[in-house]
Amino acid sequence: MEITTVAVDKPEDVNVILGQSHFIKTVEDLYEAMFQSSPGARFGVAFCEASGPRLVRRTGNDEGLTELAVRAAQAIGAGHSFLVFMREGYPVNCLNAVKMVSEVCHVFCATANRLEVVVGETESGRAILGVIDGAPPLGVETGEDEAERKSMLREFGYKQ
């Protein structure tokens, strides 16, 4: 097996959800999950078929984000993987809806960080082995850091 990493190319203000599913219906069901759980969000979805015509299926309500998702899906090239690229919303608002899509088997990450996908390749194809999401910690939270975190969550409306 050959193991490589694929950097996901995206602007800093874009969040990504990367997962694995099992059926062509995934692309339509992910669209519905995103639209219903985050109606104000802009998003693009790409799904790699693992059999049949083996196309990258795509949908979304933002053409630019859909194209970003397609390019990332092509670069990763792992069957039955999917990506959701989103703006004007956060994965925390839609992640449970995405995980509840009946075809979704696994979510590897939901992040706005720099993202690399660890890919294994054999004669049979490619698989996502894991992700590198952001950078390693530089220290431990202080009291001041804790206060800042709590303030930020309230500022975003996630806590009262």
- Domain positions in the chain: 2-155
Whole-number Å distance between alpha carbons of 96 and 3: 30
Whole-number Å distance between alpha carbons of 34 and 26: 12
Say which DSSP state 134 is in: S
Q: How far is CA 7 from CA 72, 84, 116, 152, 157, in A?
A: 8, 15, 4, 29, 31
Per-residue model confidence as pLDDT tens digits over 104-135: 999 999 999 999 999 999 999 999 999 999 99
Residue 48 and residue 80 in contact, taking contact as beta carbons nearer than 8 Å: yes
Residue 132 tokens read as 């590198």
For residue 88, which amino acid is it? E
Q: Give, in words, the CATH class of 2-155.
A: alpha beta
SS3 category, 16 = strand
Res. 157 pLDDT band, cuts 50 70 90: confident
Per-residue model confidence as pLDDT tens digits over 26-54: 999 999 999 999 999 999 999 999 999 99
pTM above 0.85, yes or no: yes
